Amino acid sequence: MNTDHEKSASGAVDEARERLRAFAGKAEQAREEAADAPRKWGRKARDNAGLARRKLSHAADRARDHLAKTGATARRRLRAGSAQLHHDVRQHPLAAILAAAGLGLALGVLLTQRRS
């Protein structure tokens, strides 16, 4: 016959078994997640690397386009300035000679002072 102590002990054993099974289940789940982690993290790393590569490529394309536009604008302004200078020299040759002489004199003075 089962006494109250035996029933109580049997219940405690059954409860301990259930807790042990639950713990074993959680441990197995943790082991599976740990085994799956490198694949999961590897995929995330590849995805992030792909995203970074696309963003970098896009930024490089924008920089290349901006540089091309800036270069074209600079060439256009240089040609316009050169044409304007050519026009001004043709219109006012004496002023152009005097300006060139004054600029040459100023550079000569500056360079001479620098050497002494």
pLDDT higher than 80, residue 3: no
Q: How many angstroms separate the Cα of 59 from the Cα of each of 1, 66, 69, 106?
A: 83, 10, 15, 46
Total domains in the chain come to 1
- CA dist 90 and 94 (Å) reads 9
DSSP 17: H
Residues 9-46: tens digit of each pLDDT: 777 778 888 888 888 888 888 888 888 888 888 888 88
Domain that holds residue 34: 4-115
What pLDDT was estimated at residue 98?
94
pTM (global) more than 0.85: no
Distances (CA, A) of 102 to 45, 54, 87: 66, 56, 20
> Residue 3: what are its φ and ψ, rounded to 5°?
-90, 170
The pLDDT score that the predictor gives to residue 41 is 82
